[in-house]
Structure 1
Amino acid sequence: MSELVKTLVLRPDISKPKWDQSTFEGRAKHFFAITNPLNLFYGTNQLDDFKKIVDEYRKGTVSNDLTVNQLWKAKHVVDSAFHPSTGEKMLMVGRMSAQVPMNMAITGGMLTFYKSPMAVIFWQWLNQSFNAVVNYTNRSGDGGSVSQLLVSYCSATGGALTAALGLNSLVKKAPPLVGRLVPFVAVCVANAINIPMMRRGELTDGIDILDENGQVIGQSPGVAKSAISQVVVSRVFMATPTFAFIPVVVNALEKRPYFKANPKMFLPLQTILCGLVLSVSTPVGCALFPQLTPVTFDQIEPELAEKLKNLPNPPKQLYCNKGL
């Protein structure tokens, strides 16, 4: 829309996403905008200009020539480059918009160099190091987050290496396709370790439960288990097309005369395929479950449910922010 914001009676509400987050389509559109790798090409001055537009709009100041499209573009770029809580500019490699190009290069390497133990160690270590940078960049800012990152990083790296090296030793005599799928299993194991370890505080103390106004009204360990499980499923879903589909394609191409004569072509081929697949699977995986997930009174602990129902104005609907 090219309408001028200043002329609108009802102006856009940029405190929430542009699209309806109760639908899968709306969530997918939102994450396609946030994870767009083109957001990485904006320089420091451009990012500051976009942030100024958003900050001034929130204060009620609107320039005469600001259009609705420009406002939403600024909002999406700011969301992809600045920390939502601190407002600080995030490390470039840790931004959501860096997920596709970074994972494209790392996954291409893991899929190509999956036989040599030293290569497996390097690429699995690099993958978990990148995940640690992403987790650090998008951390909530609480005091224990850095120590949690270190523990989860070591645990996930150890789990991924154990799975990859152990499975490689078991499938030496198996068909080539089986060996190509080992990196997928290692990544799944790492995700299953990394995410719960990173958020173990929520598993013991509970995830924040919000009312319909976004106010924190309690914590629930039971809901935390459900939220963290959804994140693990989303991460595995993101990885599945690249780690499960591409090996099947490459295994078939490996028998072709051209690739037999030019085996070095597998690295650029798999890297390009990873980029194409990840550009879709990353936002779609993020969109599988609502970011602000509805919670029923039956899902929370009985004592918390009783406490909330006895409030002077009991909430009609509960939510939790499941995380990414």
Structure 2
Amino acid sequence: MEADLSGFNIDAPRWDQSTFLGRVKHFFNITDPRTILVPERELDWAKAMVEKGRVGAVPPGTPVEQLLYAKKLYDSAFHPDTGEKMNVIGRMSFQVPGGMIITGFMLQFYRTMPAVIFWQWVNQSFNALVNYTNRNAASPTSLRQMAVSYITATTTAVATAVSMNMMTKRAPPLVGRWVPFAAVAAANCVNIPMMRQQELIQGICVKDRNHNEMGHSRRAAAIGITQVVISRIAMAAPGMILLPVVMERLEKLRFMKRIRVLHAPLQVLLSGCFLIFMVPVACGLFPQKCELPVSYLEPELRDSIKAKCEEPVPYVYFNKGL
């Protein structure tokens, strides 16, 4: 159908972002793993269409479906703060293919120390790139800070996995299978805050409902980063907690004992099944555009907002990142 574009806002989400279901639908759309296969020229076309839509320069007769598809590609591949194209591996749409491979192998190769160290290192390298790619880009991070964050998170994950592996040697086999999740959860609590430490030091940019910049808030940064940590742990939890139980049962079956070579591919596939649903669900736990009462901000920022605004500003808004 042809679009009446007079009142069309291309930046308005298709689903209500104030509800959990609306956010899940939104993230199902933009974390679609098929978008990573879209050619660069098509992504550039999508960005051009979105930019035309913002200034009301969309060619007459452009179908609504075409604009919505362009916005889907734009949201999946371009950073919401800078508009720059994100690296493929760091995009949330790469979480399913990238995460399923790493998670599957972490859960399969948990018995030997070299395998534990290697796959925890691979996972934290992947997480560091994802965290950097999806940060709030208004707060620049230096190369030194990135290196310190990466080394700290990787060390935390490896140390947690190795120490827990040693402690659970005499525990039931299932307990040992849960060690990778404990290491991933612990590392997320370090990796994300460290990779985004500049936001905690200098504050995150907060705006009013008309997108006017009001200042930078460290409290807003702490809230946003905490929500991202919770979301990432929730994203991994079902697969890394339930899949070991499933595999523990399956590996006792006679036919599974004969096809041991397929155990790792099976874990990868099942990990992907969990992540297809959990990536959008976890991203949708909290709104990406956070609302924060001005009364909760730092006193100096609160006073600054009152001084510069003639009318009261009850709330400020900021991008928490993913």
Calculate the TM-score normalised by the size of structure 2: 0.93
Give yes or no for contact 2:164–2:179 (8 Å, CA) kept in 1. Answer: yes
Runs (5+) with no aligned partner, structure 2: none
Map Cα deviations across residues 26-81 of structure 1 (whole Å, 9 max, x no partner).
11111111110111121122222222322222232223442111101111112212
Partner SS, residue 92 of structure 1: coil
Give yes or no for contact 1:94–1:135 (8 Å, CA) kept in 2. Answer: yes
- Partners of 1:50 and 1:225 in 2: CA distance: 33
61, 81, 88: which is aligned to 2:84? 88
Q: Please state how far the C-alpha of 1:296 moved relative to its aligned partner.
A: 1.6
State the match for 1:25 in structure 2.
21
State the match for 2:30 in structure 1.
34
Question: How many residues get paired?
Answer: 320
State the match for 1:79 in structure 2.
75
State the match for 1:253 in structure 2.
250
Q: 2:320 is aligned with what amino acid?
A: K
State the match for 2:314 in structure 1.
316
- Partners of 2:177 and 2:246 in 1: CA distance: 11
- Partners of 1:236 and 1:212 in 2: CA distance: 30
Cα distance, 1:136–1:307 mapped onto 2, change above 3 Å: closer
Cα distance, 1:267–1:99 mapped onto 2, change above 3 Å: same
Q: 2:311 is aligned with what amino acid?
A: N
Cα distance, 1:316–1:281 mapped onto 2, change above 3 Å: same
Q: How does 1:1-324 map to 2 (within 5 A)?
A: 3-5=1-3, 7-11=4-8, 13-139=9-135, 140=137, 143-310=140-307, 311-324=309-322
Give yes or no for contact 2:139–2:204 (8 Å, CA) kept in 1. Answer: no
Q: Please state how far the C-alpha of 1:206 moved relative to its aligned partner.
A: 2.3
Give yes or no for contact 1:114–1:120 (8 Å, CA) kept in 2. Answer: yes
- Partners of 2:219 and 2:83 in 1: CA distance: 31
Give yes or no for contact 1:212–1:316 (8 Å, CA) kept in 2. Answer: no
Q: 1:226 is aligned with what amino acid?
A: I
Q: Please state how far the C-alpha of 1:8 moved relative to its aligned partner.
A: 4.4
CA RMSD of aligned residues (A): 1.8
Calculate the TM-score normalised by the size of structure 1: 0.92
- Partners of 2:195 and 2:295 in 1: CA distance: 26
- Partners of 2:7 and 2:140 in 1: CA distance: 40
Cα distance, 1:189–1:14 mapped onto 2, change above 3 Å: same
Partner SS, residue 294 of structure 2: coil
- Partners of 2:209 and 2:42 in 1: CA distance: 35
- Partners of 2:80 and 2:40 in 1: CA distance: 18
Runs (5+) with no aligned partner, structure 1: none
Q: 1:252 is aligned with what amino acid?
A: R
- Partners of 2:97 and 2:236 in 1: CA distance: 14
